[in-house]
Amino acid sequence: MFDLSHVTVSAITETPESEFIARRKKVDRILEQKGLEGMIFFSASSIFYLTGSALIQTERPVVYIYRAAGDSALLVPRLELEHAAHHTKNCKVTCYPEYPGERHPMEFLKDIVKELGIEKSNLGADADGAPAVSGYKGPRLSEIFPDMKLTFMPRMITEMKIHKSPFEIMLMKESARWGNLAHMLLQEYTVAGKDEIEVSTRASSEATKVMLKTLGPGYKMTSYDGKGAHAGYRGQIGPNSYFPHSTTAGLVFKKGDTLVTGASASVLGYTSELERVMFVGEPSKEQEKFYNYAVEAQKAAYSQIKPGRKCSDVDKAMMEFFKENDLMKYWRHHTGHSIGTGGHESPFFDVADDSLIEPGMCFTVEPGLYVEGLGGFRLSDTLVVTETGFELITYYPTDIDKVICDR
């Protein structure tokens, strides 16, 4: 039986309103600097970040009209009304019947803007209209409000997300804890002759059950947390692990396979990233050689992660290690990326990204080597930058004898 004695009860239930207030205050400061009276958001992920309302982005547009001074409003389709009203505070929630509907949703937006008296105001917007997803078609914001003075700021929330609060970091650590459990189960259940889908489904399901039981009935999952805890292979099994982004193909494990894993958990919308190389049975000398290269490449990247350094320094250090060891022919991608509510966020550990590394940033570090016929060798860990360096959030072992399945 799997030992769960290390699992302790968490007090996490939901994101406190103080977090949303702090985020909206940051928006206020940006708007004040730019001389704007408010901001219109069409991005569901941005609306979730500012209000806690986890809305699904489909052909039905969602719009958040935010004002630092005065009433704000959230426009949603009718089927989301009760859900949005339950999760959104300090904001009027209203709805339109359906898309495309007898009356287009943007006509309802016009009504709200007029009601708020801001149709001729200086406003910011994250886009010039709702995103064209799932077949949505509609007028641009600038067409609807020709007298409105619009300033488009598509990266406002993206840039706000770069630095995590202590609460956000706690959620990411919680994510890593349950991703780690899912990965431990994945390794335990991976044996020659088993199907990858069967193994990953079992590991993910069991880890999620333990996670939800431990967090308790007070924990309020969002619709962004649908995966719970999960671990799997995405088809990166045996020779297929040579492809950095393979797809699940229901492959059966065989002795000698090189495996590239992925594990995480979504906790109140926040995630982490854990990836390891594992082997079915004892690795060959060639597999061991490239595995050790991957471990050392990650260490080379770590050596540059501290406040004041550039993101590009990290990628350059990894690339230099590859060049020194004649490994560039196995290179496929940059060293890592920021992470939080999105699996991939900016800035990036890339030779062309000169963003300064600062405390509170969270990154993945995932150099990879891809050897045709042998497999992929990629380890990914999540970390948070501290005042003096960094703290690893993920903690699965990297010793080669600890990543062997079915001995």
CATH number of the structural domain spanning residue 129: 3.40.350.10
Instruction: With a cut of 60, say whether residue 1 has pLDDT above it.
Output: no
Is the same domain home to 102 and 131? yes
5-30 pLDDT, tens per residue? Answer: 443 444 678 889 999 999 999 999 99
Is the same domain home to 232 and 113? no
Q: Which residue has the higher pLDDT, 27 or 343?
A: 27
pLDDT of residue 2: 37
First and final C-alpha spacing in the chain: 18
How far apart, in whole angstroms, are the C-alpha atoms of residue 27 and residue 157? 8
Q: Which residue has the higher pLDDT, 342 or 191?
A: 191
Asked whether residue 304 is domain-assigned, the answer is yes
pLDDT of residue 222: 75
Whole-structure pTM value: 0.93
Asked whether residue 141 is domain-assigned, the answer is yes
pLDDT of residue 225: 65
Asked whether residue 303 is domain-assigned, the answer is yes
Confidence grade of residue 196 (pLDDT, cut at 50, 70, 90) = very high
Asked whether residue 23 is domain-assigned, the answer is yes
Is the same domain home to 199 and 86? no
Domain extent at residue 401: 166-405
Is the same domain home to 141 and 198? no
pLDDT (average), residues 71-79: 96
Asked whether residue 374 is domain-assigned, the answer is yes
Is the same domain home to 153 and 181? no
Is the same domain home to 107 and 205? no
Is the same domain home to 57 and 184? no
- Could you tell me which residues come within 8 angstroms of residue 379 by beta carbon, excluding any fewer than 6 positions away? 275, 276, 277, 294, 295, 298, 366, 367, 398
Question: Of 160, 192, 209, which one is at a domain's C-terminal end?
Answer: 160
pLDDT (average), residues 160-185: 97
Asked whether residue 11 is domain-assigned, the answer is no
Confidence grade of residue 90 (pLDDT, cut at 50, 70, 90) = confident
pLDDT (average), residues 121-136: 95
The CATH number of the domain holding residue 361 is 3.90.230.10
- For the chain, percent of residues with pLDDT exceeding 90: 86
How many domains is the chain built from? 2
Instruction: With a cut of 90, say whether residue 169 has pLDDT above it.
Output: yes
Residue 203 near residue 185 (C-beta atoms within 8 A):
yes
